[in-house]
Amino acid sequence: MTDKVQEIEEIIGKYRTAGKILSQVKEEAKDKIKIGARILDVANFVEQRSIELGGQPAFPCNLSRNDEAAHATPSAGDESVFGKDMIKMDLGVHVDGYIADAALTIDLSGNPDIVKASEDALYAAVDIIKSGIDTKEIGAIIEDTITGYGLKPISNLTGHGLAQYYAHAPPSIPNRHIDHGVILSEGDIIAIEPFATDGAGKVSDGSWAEIYHVIGNRPVRLPAARKLLKQMEQYKTLPFAKRWLEPEKLDFALIQLEKAGIVTSYPVLKEVEGGLVSQAEHTVIVTDDGCEILTK
Ligand code: MN
Ligand code: MN
């Protein structure tokens, strides 16, 4: 093997390991999502179990309910519990920065068709992915599958590529018909993530955020802000939860870093008409004649 081939094999090995860890955590965690269970307990379990199994959380465990499509995670000391909700559990595990990203919907609300629509759309997409496919064909099959249920895809959320320490790398993978896509090649690592809703099919920023990431690096003068930035360095460009940070002077320091353009938040994304939202996601490696699901 040449050095280059060996390097690629090593990288793919890390993606596969991240995917295996994620799959195990996902299986163990989904049984914990029940009416009356504390949301924070599930998020903590997912993140701690990922570490126990030899990975790192690539982002905070997202537990978004009902019309929340994504980016909801509990705050420190959050006492909220699951009710008769439609819950999206979106989790990420990385090994040396190589990320596996997957999500599933647990429905405690009595709307199984909405869940089935995004799952079917995901597997319909997986079935057609291979080297040489245009991402617009993926978007088309996702939209057609979901509209077949009388529902809508969330048109302004997409799947994405993955790269070392980048949870959202190009290309974007559409969840709807588009005019111009890009061609996928063997070895591309992508996350496919259709969302289905009985609402309008669009999300906008909600009023709260618990997830942040570092977007710039410039000197800060305030000691509290400097201390906080130091804590964030370990996450590099990956998203982290506010509850992962030390509570001392946290709100004050975080505002300073946001104002300075060093840190930004991911607000909770909500369906604009308040529709119920389901999500299904896998990370795959594109191969010559298909794809390999890393997060089965
Ligand atoms: Mn995800
Ligand atoms: Mn994703």
pLDDT tens digits for range 12-34: 999 999 999 999 999 999 999 99
Q: Indicate which ligand has the atom closest to the C-alpha of 88.
A: 1
Q: Is residue 288 among the annotated active site residues?
A: no
Q: Is residue 71 among the annotated active site residues?
A: no
Domain check: are 239 and 154 in the same one?
A: no
Average pLDDT over residues 96-113: 98
d(CA 142, CA 152): 10
How far does the centroid of ligand 2 lie from the alpha carbon of residue 164, in Å?
14
User: Could you tell me the pLDDT band of residue 217, with boundaries at 50, 70 and 90?
Assistant: confident
d(CA 179, CA 108): 37
Report whether pLDDT(234) > 80.
yes
How far does the centroid of ligand 1 lie from the alpha carbon of residue 224, in Å?
32
Residues 249, 224: contact at Cβ < 8 Å? yes
The pLDDT of residue 2 is 85
Q: What is the DSSP letter of 6?
A: H
Report whether pLDDT(1) > 80.
no
Domain check: are 247 and 118 in the same one?
A: no
Given 47, 107, 143, 168, which residue is catalytic? 168
Domain check: are 178 and 88 in the same one?
A: yes
Given 47, 90, 120, 210, which residue is catalytic? 90
Q: Is residue 177 among the annotated active site residues?
A: no
DSSP 123-184: HHHHHH--TT-BHHHHHHHHHHHHHTTT-EE-TT--EEEEETTEEEEEEEE-SS--S---B-
Residues 114, 85: contact at Cβ < 8 Å? no
Given 101, 143, 188, 198, which residue is catalytic? 101
Q: Indicate which ligand has the atom closest to the C-alpha of 92.
A: 1
Domain check: are 182 and 216 in the same one?
A: no
For residue 9, the domain's CATH number is: 3.90.230.10
- Domain span including residue 161: 3-205+272-293
For residue 263, the domain's CATH number is: 1.10.10.10
Domain check: are 142 and 248 in the same one?
A: no
The pLDDT of residue 161 is 98
Residues 91, 284: contact at Cβ < 8 Å? no
The pLDDT of residue 99 is 98
Sort residue 66 into left (φ over 0), alpha (ψ -120 to 50) or beta: left
Domain check: are 20 and 95 in the same one?
A: yes
Domain check: are 109 and 236 in the same one?
A: no
How far does the centroid of ligand 2 lie from the alpha carbon of residue 123, in Å?
15
Task: Indicate the pTM of the whole model.
Answer: 0.96
Domain check: are 162 and 222 in the same one?
A: no
Q: Residues 40-76: pLDDT tens digits?
A: 999 999 999 999 999 999 999 999 999 999 999 999 9
Report whether pLDDT(120) > 80.
yes
The pLDDT of residue 49 is 98
Q: Indicate which ligand has the atom closest to the C-alpha of 90.
A: 1
Q: Residues 177-188: pLDDT tens digits?
A: 999 999 999 999
**Average pLDDT value for the chain:** 97
How many percent of the chain have pLDDT more than 90? 97
Domain count, the chain: 2
Report whether pLDDT(163) > 80.
yes
Domain check: are 33 and 86 in the same one?
A: yes
Domain check: are 121 and 251 in the same one?
A: no
Domain check: are 103 and 143 in the same one?
A: yes
d(CA 213, CA 251): 15
Domain check: are 26 and 147 in the same one?
A: yes
User: Could you tell me the pLDDT band of residue 106, with boundaries at 50, 70 and 90?
Assistant: very high
Average pLDDT over residues 233-260: 96
Average pLDDT over residues 141-166: 98
Nearest to 55 by CA among 26, 21, 11, 30: 21
